[in-house]
Amino acid sequence: MFWNKPIETMNRPELAAVQTTRLRDTIDRVYRQVPFFRSRMQAAGLLPEDIASLEDLARLPFTTKQDMRDNYPYGLFAVPLAEIVRIHASSGTTGKPTVVGYTKRDIGIWSEVMARTLTAAGANRQSFIQVAYGYGLFTGGLGVHYGAELVGASVIPVSSGNTARQIMLMKDFGTTLLACTPSYALYIAETLGEMGLEPKDLSLRAGVFGAEPWSERMRKEIEERLAIKAIDIYGLSEIIGPGVASECECQDGLHINEDHFYPEIINPQTGETLPDGEKGELVLTTITKEGMPMIRYRTRDLTVLTHKPCACGRTLVRMGKVLGRSDDMLIIRGVNVFPSQVETVLLGLGETSPYYQLIVDREDNLDKLTVLVEVTESMFSDEVRRLETLEHKIEAALGSVLGVTAQVRLVGPKSIERSEGKAKRVIDNRKL
Amino acid sequence: MIIKQISVFLENKPGTLAEVLSVLDRHNINLRAMSVADTADFGILRLVVNEPDKVEQALKGASLAVKTTPVLAMKVSDKPGGLLAEVKKLTTAGINIEYVYAFAAPAAEEARVVLKVDDLAKAEKVLKGDKAAEGGEGPNFYW
């Protein structure tokens, strides 16, 4: 099923022409409107007219999350603030969130790409779409919501949490499509069994799952336990949110909506552009966004691209499932967590050593984060309650900065392995 | 009297107590008293030894988190109500006892009690002059 067949099946030369026009327009706009991009281009000795073709894009410098932090909160916006109709944000690495802004037209683009995503998963006007992504600053909930409304489906905006109630609503309202993180989908499947229900008691047919990496094995488990088709979707708030790319019924790679987001794969070490089929870091350029265009944004997600035709008929390029990260970011319950954030919190408290380790486990299909913190002489007390108070203090500080609950466990001095090179900050025991 | 108690952070995993004891053994240190306070995650080992400064250095040298805390040590007669009489004195003086551990030496017909209190100086004063308070042997006493 297609939402926008002419675009989704457009032949490559035609698509390239559309992309070129849009890219040139975008470069022209950011050069005029965003001092950051203008000075970057000037530093590289480039004028907007130097970017005449898609190949010329590689001459432009990359944009990183650090650039967003440096321009917090509105420095990268390309329109007057009065034109901004929505602000979203994701957790930042230093406690400050990464802010993104949308114009009315951007919300329309977002709805369009999400409508394509949902339609590819089988949604239509008759569907009941339960949005169990969080609503709020996180882009997941509202992104799916607007797409579902554009499709004309009936939206059930439950947001995340309260699993037994989610299931009751699913059953009573006749939900046909579920949108949430894949780990939450598994948790829902488990709770369904505990409630004495079976998939046949529900009307569920498909689910669109994203915001965290998941494997084929996990897909199989979700599909079996909920008796649905599980579709992988991809997006990031810096680009637009969910809707950047999504699988079709072939479940063989995610079609990137490249009439809006132009993808490249680079070698994360050298920055050099890599050809189809070679694994590297995904770099995205928005070519239609008004509020906050992004030029060559380094997603840090490792994947491969293929232009091979897909059996579904779409001509849009496909990216493979995300294979990992080129930085040390963790995704815990859909929330981005950097070990450096933990370090900032610990050093900020001024009582703990800079030796720490993050241990991630998956229990009952939910991610669990434990932070090991070495006890120093200065923080050690012979009184249990003082140490427990310290643990709780660190837990509270981590929780508010990371946006996820972390359990702190004090460990002995020098018990965390020292390494001569890069410290081993993370032990990820999750089996995807 | 006031003595130096040594506290050691113990991770809640097998072998941590043995690690501390083997350090003491290597330095030929005899334990006079010990107790462990435990939580789900960790324990705090509290020790009374005859050479607290030496022991502190030795344990620090073994990469352990160590702290020396002044605590009150007293001798009570090994009979019913022996400890109660002393604790009552502290209570009457409004002193809060944070933790306590004790053990009896039946041959000597007396018991030894280690107390961590919120007002050490006052507690010592309250018990001073009393036979119960240890005294006379200096900080490096030997039980």
pLDDT, tens digit, for every residue of A24-44? 999 999 999 999 999 999 999
Residues B97, B117 contacting (CB under 8 angstroms)? yes
pLDDT at B130 over 60: no
Residues of B in contact with A377 (CB under 8 A): 60, 65-67
Helix (H) or strand (E) holding B48: strand B42-49
Chain B environment of A413 (Cβ under 8 Å): 9, 63-65
For the cut 80, the answer to whether the pLDDT of residue A213 exceeds it is no
pLDDT band at A340 (very low <50, low <70, confident <90, very high): confident
Cβ(B5)–Cβ(B139) below 8 Å? no
CA–CA min distance A352, chain B (Å): 12
The answer to whether B92 faces chain A, any CB pair under 8 Å, is no
> What share of chain B in percent tops pLDDT 90?
42
Q: pLDDT (tens digit, 9 = 90+) per residue, A123-139?
A: 999 999 999 999 999 99
Provide the pLDDT for residue A268.
93
Token pair, residue B74, equals 């007293």
- For residue A384, is pLDDT > 50? yes
Q: What is the Cα A9 distance to its own chain's centre?
A: 26
Q: Which tokens belong to B14? A: 């097998």
Which has the higher per-residue pLDDT, A403 or A94?
A403
Distances (CA, A) of A34 to A40, A128, A290, A389: 10, 41, 11, 47
**CB-closest option in B7, B41, B116 to A409:** B41
Spatial distance between the Cα atoms of A137 and A89, rounded to a whole number of angstroms: 5
* A93, pLDDT greater than 60: no
Dihedral angle of Cα A415, A420, A426, A429, to the nearest 10 degrees = -80
Q: Look at B67 and A381 and tell me if their CB atoms are within 8 Å.
A: yes
pLDDT at A419: 58
CA–chain centroid gap for A162, Å, is: 23
Q: Which of A380, A382, A391 sits opposite B46 (nearest CB)?
A: A382
Q: Does A382 touch chain B if contact means CB atoms closer than 8 Å? A: yes
Rounded CA-CA distance A144/A246 in Å is 12
Which residues on neighbouring strands pair with residue A254, listed in sequence order?
A247, A319
Confidence grade of residue A92 (pLDDT, cut at 50, 70, 90): low
Nearest neighbour of B42 by CB, restricted to A382, A387, A414: A387
Which whole number is the average pLDDT over B31-59?
A: 91
Greater model confidence, A162 or B127? A162
B chain contacts of residue A357, beta-carbon cutoff 8 Å:
none
**Cβ separation A376–B65 shorter than 8 A:** yes
Asked if the model's pLDDT at residue B135 lies above 50, the reply is no
Per the listing, tokens 């240190």 go with B29
Mean pLDDT computed over A71-97 = 88
Q: Give me Rg for the CA atoms of chain A.
A: 23
Measured between alpha carbons, how far is A345 from A352 in angstroms, rounded to an integer?
10
pLDDT band of residue A423 (cuts 50, 70, 90) is low
pLDDT band at A346 (very low <50, low <70, confident <90, very high): confident
Polymer length in residues for chain B: 143
pLDDT of residue A432: 63
Question: For residues A24 and A16, is the Cβ–Cβ distance under 8 A?
Answer: no
**Mean pLDDT of all residues in B48-64:** 91
**pLDDT reading at B138 higher than 60:** no
| Distance, CA of B1 to CA of B3 (rounded, Å) | 6
Q: Indicate if the pLDDT at residue A258 is higher than 80.
A: yes
Whether omega before B14 lies within 30 degrees of 0, making that bond cis, reads no
**pLDDT at residue A412 is higher than 60:** yes
CB of B62 within 8 Å of a chain A CB? The answer is no
Q: Which residues of B touch A414 (CB under 8 A)?
A: 63
Question: What's the confidence (pLDDT) of residue B140?
Answer: 37
Check pLDDT > 90 for residue A190: no
Residue A372: pLDDT band with limits 50, 70, 90: very high
SS3 per residue for chain A: CCCCHHHHCCCHHHHHHHHHHHHHHHHHHHHHHCHHHHHHHHHCCCCHHHCCCCHHHHHCCCECHHHHHHCCCCCCCCCCHHHEEEEEEECCCCCCCEEEEEEHHHHHHHHHHHHHHHHHCCCCCCCEEEECCCCCCCHHHHHHHHHHHHHCCEEECCCCCCHHHHHHHHHHHCCCEEEECHHHHHHHHHHHHHCCCCHHHCCCCEEEECCCCCCHHHHHHHHHHHCCEEEEEEEECCCCEEEEEEECCCCCCEEECCCCEEEEEECCCCCCECCCCCCEEEEEEECCCCCCCCCCEEEEEEECEECCCCCCCCCCCEECCCCEECCCCEEECCEEECHHHHHHHHHHHCCCCCCEEEEEEEECCEEEEEEEEECCCCCCCCCHHHHHHHHHHHHHHHHHHHCCCEEEEEECCCCCCCCCCCCCCEEECCCC
Task: Name residue A79's amino acid.
Answer: V
DSSP label at residue B63: T
Residues A334-346, mean pLDDT to the nearest whole number? 82
By C-alpha distance, the chain B residue nearest A381 is B67
pTM over 0.80? The answer is no
Q: What is the pLDDT confidence band of residue A2, given thresholds at 50, 70 and 90?
A: very high
In the predicted structure, residue A95 carries a pLDDT above the cut 90: no
- What per-residue confidence (pLDDT) applies to B134? 46
Q: Which residue has the higher pLDDT, A134 or A85?
A: A85
